[in-house]
Amino acid sequence: MADPTSGTPAANPAATPATIAPELLALREQIDSLDQDLLALLNRRAGLALAVGELKKKEGSVVFRPEREAQVIDGLKASNPGPLKLDSVAPIWREIMSACRALETPTRVAYLGPAGTFSEEAALGYFGSSIVRVPCTSIDDVFRTTAAGAADFGVVPVENSTEGVVARSLDIFLTTPLFIIGETSLFVRHNLLRKENSLEGIEVVAAHPQALAQCHGWLSSHLPNVERQPMASNAEAARQAALNPKLAAIASVRAGSEYGLHLVSPAIQDDTHNRTRFAIVTDPHRHPAPKASGHDCTSLVVSVVNRPGAMYDILKPLKAHDVSMTRFESRPARSGQWEYYFYIDLQGHPDEPHVHTAMQELRQACAYFKVLGTYPLDVH
Ligand SMILES: O=C(O)C(=O)C[C@]1(C(=O)O)C=C[C@@H](O)C=C1
């Protein structure tokens, strides 16, 4: 940058307003004019959302409708003529709907904090930035806070493409009164962050146990003799790194800027396609299950008695009624009897007759059967 006190002209001519080409000026004028049109249209849209909000207040119905938001985005993507990229449609309209929703009512969202966690990023990606953030100290705390009504929704990690299931979330699903109304997933890039901009002198690397595991290969080859310290969250590790120069944190770039750390080594996760999937949970007494959107998922947890053919009995109704199973995970039932709970995702919504019948028959075949939720698939 040019020094404004030196009297010498800026080195970069593009930065000097006097050199703006007439063609550029003309294009910018058109952009300014369109932005005014967009602003007027967005305000008209906001006015309609306010009217919808009034109607819902009269009916006593809830504001957030994940199936409607998914349909709005799906519809716009299908009719997008370009050159705006398809990937840009969902984030733009999520923000627009977030702002409109906030005019109807505040949306309080609990997630694993502190500021700068991937859970926070997932919450903002799903609900947009016009929300009331409720950072929590643990996954248990996210469920508790939402069940107690101190937040309207909770965002909890359920699986990672490298490390597999987030066991704590799955275990709590068994007993929580909350149910799932949405899902979202995030590319997770881990970075080594520190007060000093160097790998020299690091004595401890701190992060959430999942992040330590996802960077195991990199840590073994670059910092083989450094202690690995598990933390409640990556952002908490970043906070600690700001206080202790011998401690490096694995966390997001956002967490690094939040706590004033150097990005010593970017993208140190072993798998470059590392993704984490999150579930959006809420209290069924305060929020109804989303209606069918056309692209839905239904999550169940079941167990079967330990006998030959039991697993076949689970799969039979799904095949008979042509219902796809997109996920199947097992967790020990902790009975000491080698019994398991099975977490199953089905494609479709129970309002669709074939899904409804398959679920009824599946229920008959199971010793334990709980619907964790039914919700629109993540739209990108
Ligand atoms: O259509 C509605 O029910 C609205 O409240 C409007 C709107 C929107 O901005 O499009 C906002 C919030 C809902 O989650 C869904 C959609």
Q: What is the ipTM of this complex?
A: 0.99
The CATH homologous superfamily to which domain 191-265 belongs is Periplasmic binding protein-like II (3.40.190.10)
Is residue 276 flagged as an active site residue?
yes
Task: Catalytic residue, from 143, 278, 282, 298: name it.
Answer: 278
Ligand 1: which residue has its CA nearest to atom 2? 52
Task: Give the mutation target among 65, 74, 92 for probing the ligand 1 site: most ligand atoms within 8 A of CB.
Answer: 65
**Which tokens is 197 given?**
């901009």
User: Residue-wise over 267-306: b if at least 16 C-beta within 10 A, else e?
Assistant: ebbeeeebebbbbbbbbeeebebbeebebbbbbbbbbbee
pLDDT at position 58: 97
Residues near 377 by beta carbon (within 8 Å), at least 6 away in sequence = 70, 183, 293, 295, 296, 297
Report whether 268 contacts 190 (CB < 8 A): yes
Ligand 1 atom at minimal distance to the Cα of residue 104 = 5
Per-residue pLDDT of the chain (380 residues; tens, 9 = 90+): 333 334 344 455 445 556 889 999 999 999 999 999 999 999 999 999 999 999 999 999 999 999 999 999 999 999 999 999 999 999 999 999 999 999 999 999 999 988 888 899 999 999 999 999 999 999 999 999 999 999 999 999 999 888 888 999 999 999 999 999 999 999 989 999 999 999 999 999 999 998 999 999 999 999 999 999 999 889 999 999 999 999 999 999 989 999 999 999 999 999 988 899 999 999 999 999 999 999 999 999 999 888 888 888 889 999 999 999 999 999 988 776 678 899 999 999 999 999 999 999 999 999 999 999 999 998 87
In whole angstroms, how far apart are CA 310 and each of 307, 314, 365?
6, 7, 8
β-bridge mates for residue 205, sequence order: 228, 248
How many other CB atoms are there within 10 angstroms of residue 312's CB atom?
11
pLDDT at position 4: 39
Sequence spans of domains, the chain: 191-265, 296-376
Ligand 1 atom at minimal distance to the Cα of residue 96 = 9
Distance CA 141, CA 113 (A): 10
Report whether 270 contacts 189 (CB < 8 A): no
CATH number for 296-376 (one of 3.90.280.10, 3.30.70.260, 3.40.50.1370, 3.10.150.10): it is: 3.30.70.260
pLDDT at position 224: 96
Between the CA of 97 and the centroid of ligand 1 the distance, in Å, is 6
Distance CA 63, CA 55 (A): 10
Distance CA 288, CA 160 (A): 28
Q: What is the pTM of this model?
A: 0.88
Is residue 278 flagged as an active site residue?
yes
Ligand 1: which residue has its CA nearest to atom 8? 97
Residues near 216 by beta carbon (within 8 Å), at least 6 away in sequence = 270
Distance CA 366, CA 372 (A): 15
Between the CA of 63 and the centroid of ligand 1 the distance, in Å, is 7
pLDDT at position 15: 52
Dihedral pair phi/psi, residue 265, rounded to 5°: -140, 115
Residues near 36 by beta carbon (within 8 Å), at least 6 away in sequence = none
What's the 3-state SS for the chain?
CCCCCCCCCCCCHHHCHHHCCHHHHHHHHHHHHHHHHHHHHHHHHHHHHHHHHHHHHHHCCCCCCHHHHHHHHHHHHHHCCCCCCHHHHHHHHHHHHHHHHHHHCCCEEEEECCCCCHHHHHHHHHHCCCCEEEEECCHHHHHHHHHCCCCCEEEEEEEECCCEECHHHHHHHHHCCCEEEEEEEEECCCEEEECCCCCCCCCEEEECHHHHHHCHHHHHHHCCCCEEEECCCHHHHHHHHHHCCCEEEEECHHHHHHCCCEEEECCCCCCCCCEEEEEEEECCCCCCCCCCCCCEEEEEEEECCCCCCHHHHHHHHHHHCCCCEEEEEEEECCCCCCCEEEEEEEECCCCCHHHHHHHHHHHHHCCEEEEEEEEECCCC
**Residues lining ligand 1, Cβ inside 6 A:** 49, 52, 63-65, 68-69, 72, 97, 100-101, 104
Task: Give the mutation target among 50, 63, 152 for probing the ligand 1 site: most ligand atoms within 8 A of CB.
Answer: 63
